[in-house]
């Protein structure tokens, strides 16, 4: 039996989510000590099969998003298995799912039904679209949400063609949003004893995410400008080509700009269009173009040495594979090697540090139904203890 530690030790999560959005949310809960019981259909979470891994049913994506959890297989079309789920709900602090509202209600596990079993439970719905809108019930995936929330459109401003970013950002941002919403509901319950229903929509989450900066002048009535923030979508906002490669650098605020100009382009100090961050924002295309031309004069290493000396934010371009060899990540102990039945797995670790109740990766991801017998036995023991 794994000994759990962390701020969520003692919290039990009944997890009916699949793919990445919900599992990423509950992965963090497991890292922080929660007992996450992953309820899977007989075929398993589809993410088990979508990428490389040591054996069928244990892809790398699944292994990372479901580490530290326990798996039980339940066929919710069968009454006996629905009864097992009701037993789990009795013991749970959180019930979280990513089914469509109509589907979960048809199975008999909508909020009203679950709250009758356990009135103090925090019940989290992870949907594509909120239930009050006309798009409720529509299928939603990361690509379609990137398109609909404006992300693909701002990529067009950068590249000339609508495009997706190279990460399933909508799934992961929504997973983080589901996490903080669930934690706030748990905090309320700890103070009041009152459970509640939480709803998290991918579309609403990503619309909020995009409009942090891109609402811009459209926030006001009447609007004072367009609904986009110019600097992130300037055509020349991209890694700069150097004499021998590429570099990312943000010569943005007045301190950084003045240091750069003084060291590299003293003549620019006389240009009033470049005098302040506000003035430069109005001619951001000129700024990027001028810096891009200047970057061709030195090698990547030469620029990095200069920028680090001037304390200007700058970095070399790295691939995801290079993160496994990062001296900084190694120094902070970011990666955790965990012994699993497939051999050692080097997981990206818990990215936050708590001084009293730190999280940690407790185990690898479970095989499909690995904990069927254990979980059923726990329920049987509990029923005997309460005299059922």
Query: What is the sign of the dihedral through the CA atoms of 68, 76, 102 and 47?
Result: positive
Q: Determine if the peptide bond prior to 155 is cis (ω within 30°).
A: no
The pLDDT score that the predictor gives to residue 3 is 79
Name the 3-class secondary structure at 125: strand
The radius of gyration of the chain's CA atoms, rounded to the nearest angstrom, is 25
Yes or no: say if 264 and 294 are a contact pair by the CB < 8 Å rule.
yes
Distance CA 15, CA 23 (A): 8
The pLDDT score that the predictor gives to residue 385 is 79
Low-confidence residues of the chain, pLDDT below 50?
none
Q: What is the pLDDT of residues 104-146, one digit of tens each?
A: 999 999 999 999 999 999 999 999 999 999 999 999 999 999 9
The pLDDT score that the predictor gives to residue 231 is 87
The pLDDT score that the predictor gives to residue 172 is 98
* Structure token pair of residue 31: 């890292």
Domain boundaries, the chain: 12-209+327-385, 240-316
- According to CATH, the topology of domain 240-316 is formyl-coa transferase, domain 3 (3.30.1540)
Distance CA 56, CA 50 (A): 10
* Structure token pair of residue 131: 């239930």
Yes or no: say if 346 and 335 are a contact pair by the CB < 8 Å rule.
yes
CA 81 from centroid of its chain's CA atoms: 31
* Phi-psi group of 333: left, alpha or beta (phi > 0 → left; psi -120 to 50 → alpha; rest → beta): left
Instruction: Give the chain's length.
Output: 388
Which CATH code fits 12-209+327-385?
A: 3.40.50.10540
């Amino acid at each position: 039996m794994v000994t759990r530690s962390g701020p969520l030790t003692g919290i039990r999560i009944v997890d009916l989510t699949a793919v990445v959005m919900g599992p990423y949310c509950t992965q963090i809960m497991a890292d922080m000590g929660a007992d996450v019981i992953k309820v899977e259909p007989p075929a398993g979470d589809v993410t088990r099969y979508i990428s490389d891994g040591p054996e069928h049913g244990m892809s790398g994506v699944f292994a990372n998003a479901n580490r530290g959890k326990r798996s039980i297989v339940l066929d919710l079309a069968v009454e006996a298995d629905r009864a097992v789920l009701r037993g789990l709900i009795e013991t749970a602090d959180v019930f979280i799912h990513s089914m469509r509202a109509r589907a979960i209600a048809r199975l008999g596990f909508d909020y009203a039904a679950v709250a009758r079993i356990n009135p103090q439970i925090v019940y989290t719905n992870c949907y594509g679209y909120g239930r009050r809108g006309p798009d409720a019930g529509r299928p939603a995936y990361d690509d379609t949400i990137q398109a609909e929330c404006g992300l693909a459109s701002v990529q067009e401003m950068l590249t000339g063609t609508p495009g997706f970013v190279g990460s399933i950002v909508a799934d992961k941002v929504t997973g983080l949003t589901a996490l903080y919403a669930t934690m706030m509901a748990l905090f309320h319950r700890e103070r009041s004893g009152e459970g509640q229903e939480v709803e998290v929509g991918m579309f609403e989450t990503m619309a909020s995410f995009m409009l942090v900066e891109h609402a811009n002048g459209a926030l006001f009535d009447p609007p004072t400008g367009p609904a986009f923030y110019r600097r992130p979508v300037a055509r020349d906002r991209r890694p700069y080509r150097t004499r021998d490669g590429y570099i990312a650098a943000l010569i943005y605020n007045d301190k950084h700009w003045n240091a750069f100009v003084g060291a590299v382009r003293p003549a620019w100090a006389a240009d009033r269009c470049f005098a302040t961050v506000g003035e430069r924002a109005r001619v951001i295309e000129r700024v990027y173009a001028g810096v891009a031309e200047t970057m061709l004069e030195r090698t990547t290493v030469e620029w990095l040495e200069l920028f680090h000396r001037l304390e200007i934010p700058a970095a070399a371009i790295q691939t995801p594979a290079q993160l496994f060899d990062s001296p900084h990540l190694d120094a902070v102990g970011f990666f955790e090697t965990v012994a699993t039945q497939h051999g050692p797995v080097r997981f990206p670790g818990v990215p936050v540090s708590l001084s009293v109740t730190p999280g940690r990766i407790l185990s690898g991801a479970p095989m499909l139904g690995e904990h069927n017998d254990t979980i059923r036995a726990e329920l049987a023991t509990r029923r005997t203890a309460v005299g059922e």
